[in-house]
Amino acid sequence: MVLGRSTLEGETVRPDHLMAAIRHGVLNGGKRFRPFLVLESARLFGVVQQSALPAAAALECVHCYSLIHDDLPAMDDDDVRRGLPTVHKAFDEATAILAGDALLTFAFDLLSDPGCGLGAEIRVRLISRLARAAGFGGMAGGQALDLAAAETRPDELGVVTLQAMKTGALIRFACEAGAIMADAPAADLNRMRSFGETIGVAFQLADDLLDVTQTAAAMGKATGKDADAGKATLVGLKGEAWARDELARLVAKAETLLEPYGEAGHILRDAARFVAWRQS
């Protein structure tokens, strides 16, 4: 990703203050789990890494934009992210909003670039899928449901729907992106989409479990906020023991979905286990 002082065709200048805020929000650690999934799903279908990198970077831009905006006082109101001050704390709220806006638009700049070696039709499909995963029927809509959940506690189905949108949509895109780039058959695309949905559920369930079992220092962010705000989670509704059993079931399902790919799917199988049993 180009996050320095240089400009691209059609740009005038990149303000230093804005670029510093973007770098703070993107290059401050993190697992890079979503772009990793893009690259591994691409490798599974024989797409060269160089062609997959723009989609991986674009997805990380969207994810980091969402974190910058989620941390704002009007949203989740967090002061710490990845062990560092959040962007609006390190800079200011207006700059944080602009940094998120710029990252979101830059994501689609990356995906539209013909220099990645992917055909125009494939790039349009990726743009469409990511836009829907990030938009009002995906991540942004999930955040709206999450904000509303502080006032009206959703039931189990409501929690599942919220989390599938807010967290799961981008993970699903990451896993289906490789099949899209390879123009793989519909059966493969559907299989990878199901794999992404499965580990997306596991990722959020593990996150909710960590929120009640780990310290803020271990997580690099505040913990226990959902319980303090009265927000419902599956862990809160069904208990820690159920959550661990459900994580084991989800991992087994993810592994089954990858069986047709044999040894080629071993890294994604490891990723499913990591999602469920991580400690931060």
16-277 classified as CATH 3.40.50.300: no
pTM over 0.75: yes
Chain segment 216-242, per-residue pLDDT in tens: 665 565 655 665 566 789 998 999 999
Virtual torsion, Cα 45, 57, 63, 40, nearest 10 deg: 20
pLDDT digits (tens, 9 = 90+) for 139-182: 999 999 999 988 888 999 999 999 999 999 999 999 999 999 99
- Of 232, 103, 118, 225, nearest to 177 by C-alpha is 118
Residue 194, pLDDT score? 98
pLDDT digits (tens, 9 = 90+) for 93-130: 999 999 999 999 999 999 999 988 899 999 999 999 99
Where along the chain do its domains lie?
A: 16-277
Q: Are the CB atoms for 99 and 81 separated by under 8 Å?
A: no
C-beta separation of 176 from 194 below 8 A: no
Tokens of residue 169, six digits: 């949509």
Cα dist from 109 to 58, 69, 123, 190, whole Å:
8, 20, 11, 27
58 contacts 139 by C-beta, under 8 angstroms: no
Distance, CA of 159 to CA of 131 (rounded, Å): 23
Which of 35-49, 205-219, 263-277 comes out lowest in average pLDDT? 205-219
Structure tokens, 137? 């029927």
**Given this model, what pLDDT does residue 229 score?**
60
Q: What is the spatial distance between Cα 31 and Cα 194, in angstroms, rounded to a whole number?
A: 22
Please, what is the average pLDDT of the chain? 92
Beta pairing class for 80-81 and 84-85: antiparallel
